[in-house]
Structure 1
Amino acid sequence: MKNVFGKVTTLETVLAFFHDGMSLMFGGFGGVGSPPTIIDGILEKGIRNITLIGNDTGFPQIGIGRLVSEERAAKVIASHIGSNPFAGKMMQDGRLEVEFSPQGILAERIRAGGVGLPGILSDIGMDNEIVVTNKPKLSLNGKEYLVESALTADVSIVYAKKADEYGNLIYDKSARNTNPLVAMAGEITIAEVEEIVPLGSLDPEEIITPGVFVDYVIPTKGVNWKWAWE
């Protein structure tokens, strides 16, 4: 289908950007704010060996956890995996590489990637052997810090309540969570949204993610492709 609405397109079109071995950054917190239609598409396409980057691994059948449960991920960079027992079992069995990053540091690493910084300095976890392993250190003003690398991904996927055809996004309360940061840090950013409105319909003061960060917009599952202004 020809894209005549700016950045608005179909799931079939954006699935062309997903491939085995890719890095995938996702918005969401325990599944809330993760894009279900895109996740369905990844599963149906059979993509494997994905490096997942996001706050957590969701629940076994909710959010990004479905990719973990069906063993589509080779590596996860997250703040915790405790809500998904499949992730813990796979890590213990050596079938899933897991890099833990404290939640605030993870958010800052994603933000740094989104604004083009190579990394951040942090003193969090300096006394933790697991945290400091394989990380460089730097002294600044007489204090030692860990150098935490910035995070980016081949594709970022986010979920929003509303978008216009240029990709400006509004989120729904707590479903906003990490989505605005994730939207900035993908080589390609795809937004799945509940409602697509004409350009100019969104209150500029309510827009959280400017369309400059969003490459494609698709309607979430169950939303009619007929537009409100037709």
Structure 2
Amino acid sequence: MDKGILITSIITLVSTLFINWRTSSFNNKLKKQTELFKDELEKQNLALKSELTNQEAIFKNELDKKKKIAEIYYEERAKVLQELYTLLVNGPSDIVNLIRFLGKTARKEEWANSEPYLVLYEEVKLNEDLLKKVLLKSSLYLKNEDYITIKKFHDKWGEPVKVIVDLFVLFEKVPDKGSIMFTLSNEFKEFSHQTLEVKKLNVMFETCVKLSNDFDEIANIIKRAIASEEIQ
């Protein structure tokens, strides 16, 4: 065999072996790097999944808290506004009935049994104090303009309530209630005079009856507030 050809063949063989070795070495390194990359990627994926799970749990917990707070808010709002509605709707009719009783009694028209009206009077005083507290609490659940409207409506009843209280103070001093001597005392004369002449209760009675007709607007405000999904 030609010496030159032999050398060429040897060089080719060596080159091929070297190339194959380099290729195999590169493939092995590439495989190791790929495996390392896959492991790192898997670790990152696991860490990300864990973080997402934690965040999801935190979000769900916060959402549950907000839902619970909202439920408590809506429940308390409904309770307060329903109580406000009841006090506002009953108050005017009670006040009108007391004014009618005071006027008729002062004119000696009826005094057969004053006890129910004395009980009603005590209830009106208690409800008026309660109404002030409930109205203030309702400001937490009403729009500012709605609260002002309701408060103005309530304030209009302030003077009639004050007059009723003043007159009942005089009426309670009258002796012999329910007897034939009822109208003969000086205490009754003072009560009658203050009721019919000074306070002009008939005018106040007519005013209160008209004022009662304005309750529809107040009722609608309260009903809308109870039904609303908004949180003030």
- TM tier, smaller: under 0.3
Give the number of the structure whose residues are more often helix, by fraction.
2
Alignment TM-score, normalising by the size of structure 1 = 0.22
Greater relative CO (CA pairs within 8 A, separation 6+): 2
Which is richer in strand?
1
- With normalisation by structure 2, the TM-score equals 0.22
